Structure 1
Amino acid sequence: METLMPYFVAVLVPLCLYLLSLICRKGCGRLPPGSVGWPILGENVEFALLGHQRLVKERMQKYSGDAFKTSLFGEKLVVLCGAGGNKFILMNEKKLFSPWFPVSLSKVIFPDFNHVKHQEPEATFHNFQHDVLKAEALRQYVPVMDKLAREHLRHGWMRNSVVKAGPATKKYTFELACRLFMDVVDPERLDKLLGPFSLMTDGLVSLPVNLPGTDFNRALKGGRVVRAELLRIVEERRKELEVTSEGRGDVMSKMLLASMSHTKVANILAGLLVAALYEVSSAIVIVTHYLSQLPHIYDLVFKEQMEIATSKGGDELLTERDVEKMKYTWNVVLESFRITPPTLGTFRETITEFSFAGFTIPKGWKIMWTPHSSHYNPDYFPEPDKFDPSRFEGSGPKPYTFVPFGGGARMCPGRGYAKLVILVFIHNLVTTFRFDKVFPSEKMLFNHNSPAPAHGLPIRLHPHQK
């Protein structure tokens, strides 16, 4: 028997090590729980039916509050949840993750971009380093924003007793962005661009199946029209600059004077305009939605804004200092974003295998973080269903619990611009009208990347007596 012992050891030890490795793989290196849904379709049907807010909530309850896997927009991906997941993703930029865009987004906005792993289009919002988003430029934008908001309300709202706030605010934010970034103010040209841009934004984050009737198909068609029109505008400006080399001072002129190619200029403009139309307009609608159904909140915002308005001359435009006084209004905006984040979240691709909360995510998998995983957590926000702007007084929420603008190295570069556009428009809206919802029970839908009111948010206007 003793002579056989070495043979048993030689066989049993490797076998035990192999079994142990299997156990470790199964118990310690497992993927997060979840479902990848149907072949090709993934869970896009559930996404469309439930909306991303409910989808995230239900998957966290069913599978794990730390992470779950799913399949959306043609990719298998893992959603990391809660403040821990938010922090892990945002603090490990370039260490574990690289930027990644859904195929639908890159093909619609950047059709000339060769989709290479761990690379993003050169002309995206995050890589855009021109002065359009710097503090000096933002200060100069405030009077322009104020003037256009006044004109927009006077000509587009004042004549009506009921206005659909969704389409109306989209028109305002788009016209403003075109004026600031391209100095394009011709109404016919703006209308020619707005329709196709709306098609683009509705299909930016969608299942990339190019069949008639799909969001992706419509987005591609809209993108082609937008692309052609932007290139025409760029070419017209180039010819203008051949005559006068000074330019108009807008972003497009500065890029052309810096000898950027037409394609790159069009890419940058497309990224800027989509961000302005896609998320900024949605953000204004979200705030308007809550002001129209919460009269006590409206009254406090109105009081603050009237103090600013009465401190100025009748035709005197707002300045950055005026916006800095809108502290309560900004807290109302932030609380609106907590309950209804203006974006689904953002995506990454793993550049190396890593572990999180006991799960192992392999290299090459797509990762997503979403504000929906933390904004309703009662551990972070007591009574999460209650609209309470005081949550943002003082030091505000704990780090990584409130992330409508991202964080870390990938903090949204347009957050300063968005803040000004929202506050300036809300100032003009509440000092001009009291308003209420035509459909009191109208809900915000989360079927696309940015939430939208079910009926376009028609509101009944009651002009203030001057």
Structure 2
Amino acid sequence: MMSHIAVHLNPKLFEDPLEFNPWSLTTYTGAVHKFVRSFASKLFGPANLKESLLPDLESAVRESFATWAMNLSIEVKDGISNMIFDLVAKKLIGFNPTKSRELRKNFQEFFQGMVSFPLYFPGTSFYRCMQGRRNVQKTLTDLLKERLSAPGEKYNDLIDQIIEELESENPVIDVNFAVDVLSALLFASFATLSSTLAVGFKFLTDNPKVVKELKYIFEVPHLLPQTVPPNSYKKNLLNSLCQS
């Protein structure tokens, strides 16, 4: 009853964090979708995955492991989230770790408040959620405006491609839509992949035999049994992991 009265007195107290903006991807078709697919494939496509992203991810993993080794304990999911987000933020928008961690805090506030009671009032989880979303939008909007104010400069990240499109004679997107796409890619990078990798860590922890065999493969590859086909060997490892 009280919530019903509150909505009528002040509808702005209740908002939907997932309410799509007018420039959302769902409202576009054709050329816009083609641009988004082309843009996303530059980072997550098979060619870049093999040539750039996986080697960079391996380097990031090694650096993270070296840092984790100096701690008595580590929150794996949070550590993986930082690692993945730092890498994607660097590739996507050219942010260094300091800037990317600050941006990720806002994403985290948004993520944690998505399932909270939608009461937009200071002090509530939902209020922090909406503030996090607005901070993300402001950061990315300011970044795009900064890049647009210096045409011709290249930063070797994927925003360069967005700037080229925005500066073209007939752009298929605008700044608001670009912010929407960048937000989605950044959010997806740590909200999905980090959970998957954290589960993988758990499986490995619960299966010391698999860890031992993996170490055997990578540390002494020349000692692999020649009578066992590589694909069969990998399949046996996978089956051992999945049967836990």
In the TM superposition, residue 250 of structure 1 has moved relative to its aligned partner by 2.6
Structure 1, unaligned runs of 5 or more = 1-37, 42-73, 75-101, 313-321, 336-387, 390-466
Q: Is the CA contact (8 Å cut-off) linking 2:144 and 2:175 kept in structure 1?
A: yes
Match of 1:158 in 2: 69
Match of 2:22 in 1: 114
State the secondary structure of the residue aligned to 1:160: coil
The structure number with the bigger radius of gyration is 1
**Which structure carries more helix by proportion?**
2
CA offsets, 1:185-204, max 9 Å, x none?
2x321222121111011123
1:228 maps onto 2:138 in alignment: yes
State how 1:233-248 maps to structure 2 within 5 Å.
233-240=143-150, 242-244=151-153, 247-248=154-155
In the TM superposition, residue 147 of structure 1 has moved relative to its aligned partner by 1.0
State the secondary structure of the residue aligned to 1:104: coil
In the TM superposition, residue 262 of structure 1 has moved relative to its aligned partner by 2.0
Match of 1:209 in 2: 119
CA offsets, 1:66-102, max 9 Å, x none?
xxxxxxxx9xxxxxxxxxxxxxxxxxxxxxxxxxxx9
Candidates 294, 304, 311, aligned match of 2:214: 304
Q: Is the CA contact (8 Å cut-off) linking 2:106 and 2:135 kept in structure 1?
A: yes
CA offsets, 1:132-177, max 9 Å, x none?
332112212111111111112213x021121121321111111111
Q: Distance in 1 between matches of 2:63 and 2:22?
A: 42
Match of 2:175 in 1: 262
State how 1:95-110 maps to structure 2 within 5 Å.
103-106=16-19
CA offsets, 1:249-272, max 9 Å, x none?
432211221224222221111001
Q: TM-score by structure 2 length? A: 0.71
Candidates 50, 55, 70, aligned match of 1:143: 55
**Which structure carries more strand by proportion?**
1
Q: Is the CA contact (8 Å cut-off) linking 2:81 and 2:194 kept in structure 1?
A: yes
State how 1:122-141 maps to structure 2 within 5 Å.
122=28, 128-130=36-38, 131=41, 132-140=43-51, 141=53
Q: Is the CA contact (8 Å cut-off) linking 1:304 and 1:326 kept in structure 2?
A: no
Instruction: Tell me the C-alpha RMSD between the 2 structures.
Output: 3.5
1:253 maps onto 2:165 in alignment: no
Shift of the 115–225 alpha-carbon distance from structure 1 to 2, 3 Å rule, reads closer
In the TM superposition, residue 326 of structure 1 has moved relative to its aligned partner by 5.9
Q: Is the CA contact (8 Å cut-off) linking 1:301 and 1:328 kept in structure 2?
A: no
**Percent identity over paired residues:** 18
Q: Is the CA contact (8 Å cut-off) linking 1:184 and 1:190 kept in structure 2?
A: yes
Match of 1:87 in 2: none
Shift of the 175–212 alpha-carbon distance from structure 1 to 2, 3 Å rule, reads same
Q: Is the CA contact (8 Å cut-off) linking 1:173 and 1:281 kept in structure 2?
A: yes
1:195 maps onto 2:105 in alignment: yes
Candidates 73, 80, 95, aligned match of 1:169: 80
Q: Is the CA contact (8 Å cut-off) linking 1:104 and 1:207 kept in structure 2?
A: no
Q: Distance in 2 between matches of 1:273 and 1:219?
A: 16
Q: Is the CA contact (8 Å cut-off) linking 1:200 and 1:223 kept in structure 2?
A: yes
Shift of the 208–306 alpha-carbon distance from structure 1 to 2, 3 Å rule, reads farther
Shift of the 284–152 alpha-carbon distance from structure 1 to 2, 3 Å rule, reads same
Candidates 113, 122, 128, aligned match of 1:218: 128
Q: Distance in 2 between matches of 1:328 and 1:305?
A: 15
Which amino acid is the alignment partner of residue 120 of structure 1? T
Q: Figure out how many residues of one structure are paired with residues of the other and give that number.
A: 211
State the secondary structure of the residue aligned to 2:18: helix
Q: Distance in 1 between matches of 2:63 and 2:164?
A: 31
Shift of the 326–301 alpha-carbon distance from structure 1 to 2, 3 Å rule, reads farther
Q: Is the CA contact (8 Å cut-off) linking 2:113 and 2:129 kept in structure 1?
A: yes
Which amino acid is the alignment partner of residue 164 of structure 2? L
Q: Is the CA contact (8 Å cut-off) linking 1:252 and 1:265 kept in structure 2?
A: no
Q: Distance in 2 between matches of 1:115 and 1:261?
A: 8
Which amino acid is the alignment partner of residue 254 of structure 1? Q
Shift of the 311–105 alpha-carbon distance from structure 1 to 2, 3 Å rule, reads farther
State the secondary structure of the residue aligned to 2:192: helix
Structure 2, unaligned runs of 5 or more = 5-13, 167-172, 223-229
- Structure with more relative contact order (C-alpha pairs < 8 Å, separation 6 or more): 1
Q: Is the CA contact (8 Å cut-off) linking 1:170 and 1:281 kept in structure 2?
A: yes
